[in-house]
Amino acid sequence: MAVCVVGTGAIGQTVIDALRDSVVPHVSLTAVLDSRSSPEESAAAFDAADIVVEAATVDAARTVLPDVVKRGKDIVVCSCGVFADRGFDMESFGSGPSRVLLPTGAIGGFDVLAAATRAGSRDARLTHTTIKRPSALGIEERLDAERTVFRGSAREAALAFPRTSNSSVALALATLGLDRVEVVVVADPDATSTRHVVEWESPLGRYELTFENAIDPASSGRTSSITAWSVIEVLAALPLGIGPGAVVLGPPYRS
């Protein structure tokens, strides 16, 4: 499986390094694009790839996503904020043949939460709370104590905090949708890591999932190291035809 990576920031670089180190069987890196790549370079790289990893920005994703999809190639989108834009025609991706894949990013548990959603979502509630240090949220002001700086839907969160809301958007699209998942963003001047708390409640059960993530030193305090590995996990799952939220004992998918 030939992979083209778009973006050489913290996430993109970790994915690139892992693929160069052959961390994932049956998956190889064939091209790396960044903001200086020409349209001709991008076109050639997309044509040669089986799957494109967008690990750049929401703005870049707006261009890359349709460009890859019109070629019928699969794409992993890290800048999920692009899906929160009401002008963005998400329905159009259902018709294929491309698959648009959203990794779990800085959080997880999409396996159990998707299952619980399928069991019954009418009486379900889901909240995603992110606690970061103020500078990682673009807050210059000096805070003496933690402060809730946002509370709203996943869609609203993506428009207010596009860099911080990628996993909220992916979580929402895996479960109750962009308008029914509540997002809370807290600035904590004492935070040394980024914390996420995902709380689900429905007749099936109550789940409280806490993720305290080490920060990728290449990301100016913004990106959790696990995020790139969630992308790598999706790439590893594709040749198996299942996962990452299922264990596969067995050979690669015979396609």
Contacts with a copy of itself, residue ranges (CB under 8 A):
23, 74, 83, 90, 93-104, 107-116, 118-119, 170, 173-174, 193, 203-214, 224-226, 229-230, 232-234, 236-238, 240-251, 253-255
Of 6 and 178, nearer to a copy of itself (C-beta) is 178
Handedness of CA 218, 223, 229, 231 (dihedral sign): negative
191 three-class SS: coil
For 177: left if phi > 0, alpha if psi spans -120 to 50, otherwise beta; the answer is: left
Of 138 and 241, nearer to a copy of itself (C-beta) is 241
Q: Which DSSP category does 246 fall into?
A: S
- DSSP H or E run through 67: helix 58-69
Query: DSSP readout, 177-191?
Result: -TTTEEEEEEE-TT-
Q: Which one from 73, 155, 195, 196 is the annotated catalytic residue?
A: 196
Dihedral angle of Cα 113, 223, 89, 3, to the nearest 10 degrees: -90
Residue closest to 75 by CA, chosen among 86, 63, 91, 87: 63
Of 161 and 229, nearer to a copy of itself (C-beta) is 229
Residue closest to 134 by CA, chosen among 168, 170, 164, 166: 164
Report in angstroms how near the CB of residue 255 gets to a copy of itself at its nearest: 6
106 annotated as a binding-site residue: yes
**Residue 17, strand partner residues:** none
Report in angstroms how near the CB of residue 188 gets to a copy of itself at its nearest: 16
Contact 147, 186 (CB under 8 A): yes
Is 128 assigned a catalytic role? no
Report in angstroms how near the CB of residue 56 gets to a copy of itself at its nearest: 18
CA distance 110 to 171: 7
Strand 74-77 vs strand 205-213: parallel, antiparallel, or unpaired?
Answer: unpaired
Of 187 and 238, nearer to a copy of itself (C-beta) is 238
Report in angstroms how near the CB of residue 187 gets to a copy of itself at its nearest: 20
CA distance 78 to 14: 13
Of 34 and 85, nearer to a copy of itself (C-beta) is 85
Report in angstroms how near the CB of residue 142 gets to a copy of itself at its nearest: 27
Catalytic positions:
196
Annotated binding site: 106, 166
Residues in the annotated binding site for NAD(+): 106, 166
